[in-house]
Structure 1
Amino acid sequence: MILDQKLEKLHNILKNLRSVAVAYSGGVDSTFLLKVASDVLKDKVIAVTATSSTYPERELNEAKKYANEFGVKHIIIVSEELEIEGFSKNPIDRCYYCKKELFTKIYKVANENGIEYVVDGSNYDDLGDYRPGMIAAKELKVISPLKEAQLTKQDIRELSKKYDLPTWNKPAFACLSSRFPYGHEITEGKLKMVERAEELLLSLGFRQVRVRHHGDIARIEVAKEEREKFFNLKTLDLIGEKLKEIGFTYVTMDLLGYRTGSMNETIKKV
């Protein structure tokens, strides 16, 4: 299916839904979905963003900015994952409990605003990774229009550029709880360590960044093409010293660089 056909299919899916509440993070996928939904359904669209200790303030501010630019009603709710029983223990199905809580709250907001359906930004590529959150979405009948239209991440970036969206080349982002190995406890303090460490790397010009929290060890992942930036003694010293100040004892770089779902690599070995 060519790109224009996929886009037409997306339009038809949204038209048939009539009114939607978009689970909106401000990322590449949900921003594209919100833009198209607002074009197709006009005022029958709302954006719902959840704040929590796993969601950096930087991302929240961008979500507010983009929703305002689209002229879409934007509702911000609190969905604190650490309060969900068992979440902080970080089981392999952690995302299931998070998404179940999130989508349940978004449905409540949708009902209060006379909206029929809840939609999320899952895309066609998401079918190829371990994503327990998709089980919660299916159980709660959340619709994934991008996935139904067979739009891949690359398709969405290409169309976002065509729409002149500021997110067309935005690095991929996942909630901060994804920085911890399964079974390692997640706390608000540890989340703050990760957020501060990633903000430092972003301030130094790195674009695609993950700081994985392995107890005393910080394992840094950056985009493959950005790895060479580390081979500067001043840069190495600065990052090492700052991450130690943040609370890590040892600071390491993953030689293979950033890759989606790297924390899921241990699951495949079980």
Structure 2
Amino acid sequence: MNKKLEALQEYLKELGSVAIAFSSGVDSTFLLKVAHDVLGDQVIAVTAQSCSFPKRELEEAKAFCKKEGIKHIICESEELQIEGFSHNPKNRCYLCKHELFEKIGNIAKENNIKYVAEGSNMDDNGDYRPGLQAVAELHVKSPLRHVELTKQEIRDLSKEMGLPTWDKQSFACLSSRFVYGEEITESKLSMVDQAEQLLLDMGFHQLRVRIHGQMARIEVMPSEFLKLMEDANREKIVSEFKKIGFSYVTLDLQGYRMGSMNETIKTD
């Protein structure tokens, strides 16, 4: 057995019971599956429902928990109601995560669960991640980082375990598509959600649609540039994006990369 997987299982056994922040992404799905295999009914999954969390992700979370027989609690967590959040400050993620993990902590207590855990991995240590400050302050456990699992290792182990998420695109909440300082609104979140769903439906895999006012900046993998620029695809994207509400549609020539909105603040 993989040594890191073994270490993860041992660590989860030590925790005894855990409420896992479950987004249906690659990392939290893997963590939830391993935790449930080890701890059974002493594990619950908690998913936050909000306008920055696409409906498709929520439905996938529900389906996975139903299939695996895991107790699943959905909590309302409307970020736009958090004071200061809609102004999109640089610590936006901290404001959101702090409130979310407080809510999950309360749910854990109500269900006699000792700990709260989240699915960040070693690759998350390198980017600007103010949400991890909230994790530390509220004593939330990060089992995947604790045993030093990387994203690729999690994908490989997920494939071995037969998890459907092993090759799922990386996802972050839709608020991460906004340039810092630009107001986040429900209508703009919906625009981003619709635009990304269109690209996913067209068969693009790892992608982001970043919003800059009325301009959409599309990030896809460089290997998919040619597909996007095929006349039929390009014309469809431009036409549909304008129907959604964008005035301008652009392709980022650097391609998809994690945390591109943080590039402007790395020297701060």
The TM-score with structure 1 as length reference comes to 0.98
Following superposition, the deviation at residue 231 of structure 1 comes to 2.3
Measure the CA separation in 1 of the matches of 2:266 and 2:133: 19
Q: 1:221 is matched with which residue?
A: 219
How big is each residue's C-alpha offset from its partner over 1:206-261, in whole Å with a ceiling of 9 and x where there is no partner?
11121101001100011222122122111111110110111111100101110001
Aligned ranges 1:119-138 → 2 under 5 Å: 119-138=117-136
5 Å matches for 1:10-21? Answer: 10-21=8-19
Q: What is the SS of the residue equivalent to 2:166?
A: coil
Deviations 1:180-229 (A, max 9, x none): 00011000010000011111111111111211010011000112221221
Q: What stretches of structure 1 move > 6 A for 4+ residues in a row?
A: none
What RMSD over aligned residues (CA atoms) do the two structures have, in Å? 0.9
- Tell me which amino acid in the other structure corresponds to 1:28: V
Q: Secondary structure at the match of 1:192?
A: helix
Is 1:110 aligned to residue 108 of structure 2?
yes
- Matched length: 268
Q: 2:169 aligns to what?
A: 171
Paired amino acid for 2:186: E
Asked if 1:236 is matched to 2:234, the reply is: yes
CA distance in 2, matches of 1:269, 1:118: 33
Secondary structure of 2:2's aligned partner: helix
The secondary structure found in structure 1 opposite 2:265 is helix
Taking the TM superposition and a 5 Å limit, the aligned residue runs for 1:195-206 are: 195-206=193-204
Helix, strand or coil: the match of 2:44? strand
User: Could you tell me how far 1:269 is from its partner in structure 2?
Assistant: 4.2
* 1:67 maps to 2:65: yes
The match for 2:181 is: 183
AA aligned opposite 2:149? L
Partner of 1:38: 36
Q: Unpaired segments of 5 or more residues in structure 2?
A: none
The CA deviation string for residues 42-67 of structure 1, in whole angstroms up to 9 with x for no partner, is 11000000000000000000011111
The runs of 5 or more residues in structure 1 that have no matched partner are none
Match of 2:263, SS state, is helix
Rounded to whole Å, the distance in 2 between the matches of 1:269 and 1:218 is 25
In structure 2, how many angstroms separate the alpha carbons of the residues matched to 1:192 and 1:39? 36
Tell me the TM-score normalised to structure 2 length. 0.98
- Percent identity over the alignment is 61
Counterpart of 1:86 (choices 60, 84, 102) is 84
AA aligned to 1:44 is Q
